[in-house]
Structure formats: C-alpha cells, structure tokens
C-alpha cells in the first residue's frame, strides 16, 4: 500500500500544487458533493494547478454513499476519458473521501488520488488511514478496500464553513483519540469550547489528533491488531447509526460515535475497571454537546443484530475495543448480551 503523506497546510495553493506535481497524470478530475461544490470549491477553483480539471459532483450526506453514486463517479471518469494514469482529487467530507477513494482504487484497477478533507470529521478520521468504501445493504462501510491517498492536505480554512453540528461530529473522533492517547490530550478536549471556537487552537488540536491516528495506522495498516483501538465507540455507534438509517432519521456519524463512546466506556468500567470518575467526566461532556439518541428497549434486539455485523467480529461473537484507563488499551474484549443491554440502558437513561 502506497505510503500516505499528510500535509498540515498553511497555504493551500502551494501544498496542492506540490501534491499534484508528485503525481504525474494525463487527466485531472475533482470530486465534490453538492455542498462542497458551493462552499469549498470556490476557495480553490482558480488555482493554476487545477486548470483543466474535470468536475464530478454527487449528492451530499451519508445517504449518498451508495453504489449508485459510485457508478456515477466511475461513469464520469470513463466519459471523461480517464486512464490508469489519471488523478482524482477528492474535495469534501468523509463521504466524499471514502467513496472517491474507493472509486479511484477500482477504476482501471486503480488510479492515484489526493484527499482534501473539508470537515473536521474527515480531517481527523475518514481521510487518514487508507480506508475507502460505500454503505451497502443498510450497513455502514460494508464494501471497500484499504488504499492510501497519495497525499492528504489538511487546511483548517475549510472548518470555517461548518455549522456546530458538523464541528461536533468531527470532534467526537478527536475525543476518541484523546481517550486512547494520554490524560493531557483528553483533558484539553474536554475543556475546549465548541460554542466559541478558537480556530488557531483547533488547528493545533487537529494536528495532534491526526498524529495519534497516524501512529496507530503505521503500526497496523490493515487492522490486524492495534488499529482496532480506533474502533472505540464504533461497535455500538455504528449500530445506532444503522438503526437511524433504517428509520430514516438523519444522524451524523460523530454523534453516533459519541453515543457509542458512552456505552463502551460503561463496558470499559464493567469489564476493564476504567476509572468511574473519568468515565462520568467524559459522559457529561458528551451529554452536553450531543444530547441523546432517542430509542426504546424494544429496539435492543435489532441493535444487537446490527452489532453482529461489525467487521471486527469473529463469527457471532461481538468484539469490542475498550480501555482500562486513558491510553490503556484492551483489544478483543467480549461482553454478554445482558451487559450490552445494560450499556444501552445507561445511554438511554442519560446517566
């Protein structure tokens, strides 16, 4: 798998020109969704390095992370006379970088691509680590491959285009990175004010968060061991997200992860003796920033069935990445169905 260069950009024109220059190509394509076409493309469309680029646009939101959207991208690459020597630039959030990365990885058996994540979530999570894919059969990221972007360019100017909900969505992944790293990072994340954003400080925190994920990914690029820790909060979070999709409720990925963290920190206390005070501090932070996911005990069995589809599982055993303390990782943990339901109780009751 090609080594991925992550660039913390202070000057997007220079960084993008250099990244494109490192990828000799015959044709250049840019993928956006309808939102990033309006809000983010105007910030870079006049750059000389993008002269002659062919635009491809798909619908916005995770509901468009589908086979139909993927086919549209493949078709656009084909109709634009793309070859194995073409280059795709993905400009957007995690949905765009995941789907665009998968389209690039499979078109003509693979063309190179560059990610320019435009949301906080995609900067600290989706664009780094080589995971690409689409949702399928009602399940998150069911079809995809590992394949690194040639470059990932992180420029915090795009964060100023985000509303509170999209900032908070990405922040949940940063909070996860704080939990798996050290008490200092975790404490800084709990204290940061999302309602009055200091973008300079946020940029520094993004760099720390990306560095945490990079260290994990470089040690375990295809999720055979340590990389599983990045799934903290995701086993239950993905189930909540999939349930919301089934019920036609719009739930941002980071919100589902935040609620999943509540459940999995509860399981960490029960199974790994994670400190109760640190669990409650984190849960209070999540409660204040993300509210609650409304569901009833009647949906527990469906959520449990969705958890059984998690890609970390072996057979029907549900596998969790948990913590014994901040940065003290416990991989491949299992919980009984009753313990999982207790964790759902804990989330639903808002304790």
Of the candidates 241, 9, 231, 197, the one whose C-alpha atom is nearest the C-alpha of residue 118 is 9
Q: To 10 degrees, the CA torsion angle through 230, 231, 232, 235?
A: 180
Structure confidence by residue, pLDDT tens digits, 158-173: 999 899 999 999 999 9
Please tell me the predicted confidence (pLDDT) of residue 161: 87
The reported pLDDT for the residue numbered 125 is 82
Q: What is the mean pLDDT of residues 64-81?
A: 98
pLDDT band, very low/low/confident/very high, at 220 (cuts 50, 70, 90):
confident
> What is the rounded distance in angstroms from the CA atom of residue 12 to the CA atom of residue 3?
21
What does pLDDT average to over the chain? Answer: 93
Nearest C-alpha neighbor of 282 from the set 309, 304, 259: 259
Closest CA to 266 of 147, 193, 347: 347
pLDDT tens figures, 267-276:
999 999 999 9
**Whether pLDDT at 245 is above 60:** yes
DSSP letter (8 states) at residue 110: -
Cα separation values, 64 from 83, 176, 271, 316, Å: 25, 26, 38, 29
In angstroms, the CA 276 to CA 78 distance is 55
Q: Is 130 left (phi over 0), alpha (psi -120 to 50) or beta?
A: left
In the prediction, which pLDDT does 227 show? Answer: 86
Is pLDDT at 232 greater than 90 in this prediction? Answer: yes
User: What is the fold of 5-161?
Assistant: Rossmann fold (3.40.50)
Instruction: Supply the DSSP string of 40-66, one letter for each residue.
Output: THHHHTT-GGGTTPEEEEE--SGGG-S
Task: Specify whether the CB–CB gap between 98 and 131 falls below 8 A.
Answer: yes
User: What is the rounded distance in angstroms from the CA atom of residue 213 to the CA atom of residue 186?
Assistant: 14
Is the confidence at residue 83, as pLDDT, over 80?
yes
Helix residue spans in the chain (DSSP H): 12-21, 34-39, 41-44, 67-79, 94-106, 120-121, 164-179, 183-191, 199-219, 234-246, 253-272, 276-290, 300-307, 337-348
- Residue 114, φ and ψ in degrees, nearest 5: -125, 135
Percent of the chain with pLDDT over 70: 96
The pLDDT assigned to 278 comes to 98
18-41 average pLDDT score: 97
pLDDT of residue 263: 98
Q: What DSSP string describes 194-255?
A: TTS--HHHHHHHHHHHHHHHHHHHHH-TTSSSGGGGGGTTHHHHHHHHHHHHHTT----HHH
Contacts of 196 (CB under 8 A, 6+ apart): none
pLDDT value at 324 more than 70: yes
Q: What is the dihedral sign for C-alpha 201, 207, 211, 214? A: positive
Q: Residue 317: pLDDT band by 50, 70, 90 thresholds?
A: confident
pLDDT of 32: 98
Asked whether the predicted pLDDT for residue 2 surpasses 70, the reply is: no
Residue 247, pLDDT score: 93
pLDDT at 139: 86
Q: Is 22 helix (H, G, I), strand (E, B) or coil?
A: coil
**Residue 3 pLDDT:** 66
Domain boundary assignment for the chain: 5-161, 164-348
Mean predicted confidence (pLDDT) in 125-145: 87
Q: Which fold has domain 164-348?
A: Dehydroquinate synthase-like, alpha domain (1.20.1090)
Own/partner contacts of 182-189, CB < 8 Å, gap of 24 or more, are: 182/326, 182/327, 183/326, 183/327, 185/212, 186/278, 186/282, 186/326
Q: Residue 351 above 60 pLDDT? A: no
Residue 205 has pLDDT above 90, yes or no: yes
């Amino acid at each position: 798998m090609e080594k991925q260069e992550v660039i913390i950009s202070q000057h997007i024109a220079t960084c993008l020109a250099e990244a494109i220059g490192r990828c000799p190509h015959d044709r250049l394509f840019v993928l956006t969704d309808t939102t990033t076409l309006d809000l983010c493309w105007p910030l870079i469309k006049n750059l000389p390095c993008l002269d002659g680029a062919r635009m491809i646009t798909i619908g916005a939101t995770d509901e468009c992370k589908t086979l139909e959207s993927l086919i549209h991208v493949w078709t656009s690459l084909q109709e634009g006379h793309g070859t194995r020597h073409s280059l795709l630039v993905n400009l957007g959030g995690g949905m765009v970088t995941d789907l665009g990365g998968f389209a690039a990885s499979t078109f003509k058996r693979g063309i190179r691509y560059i990610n320019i994540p435009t949301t906080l979530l995609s900067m600290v999570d989706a664009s780094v680590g080589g995971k690409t894919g689409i949702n399928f059969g009602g399940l998150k990221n069911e079809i995809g491959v590992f394949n690194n972007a040639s470059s990932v360019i992180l420029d915090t100017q795009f964060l100023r285009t985000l509303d509170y909900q999209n900032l908070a969505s990405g922040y949940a992944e940063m909070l996860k990175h704080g939990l798996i790293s050290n008490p200092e990072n975790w404490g800084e994340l709990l204290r940061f004010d999302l309602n009055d954003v200091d973008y300079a400080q946020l940029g520094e925190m993004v760099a720390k968060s990306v560095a945490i994920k990079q260290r994990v990914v470089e040690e375990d690029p295809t999720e055979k061991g340590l990389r599983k820790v990045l799934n903290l909060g995701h086993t239950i979070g993905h189930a909540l997200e999939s349930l919301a999709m089934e019920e036609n409720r719009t739930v941002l990925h980071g919100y589902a992860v935040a609620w999943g963290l509540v459940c999995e920190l509860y399981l960490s206390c029960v199974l790994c003796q994670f400190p109760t005070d640190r669990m409650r501090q984190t849960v209070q932070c999540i409660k204040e920033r993300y509210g609650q996911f409304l569901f009833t005990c009647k949906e527990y069995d469906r959520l449990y069935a969705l958890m059984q589809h998690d890609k970390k599982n072996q057979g029907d055993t549900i596998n969790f990445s948990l913590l014994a303390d901040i940065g003290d990782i416990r991989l491949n943990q299992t919980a009984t169905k009753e313990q999982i339901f207790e964790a759902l109780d804990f989330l639903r009751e808002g304790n």
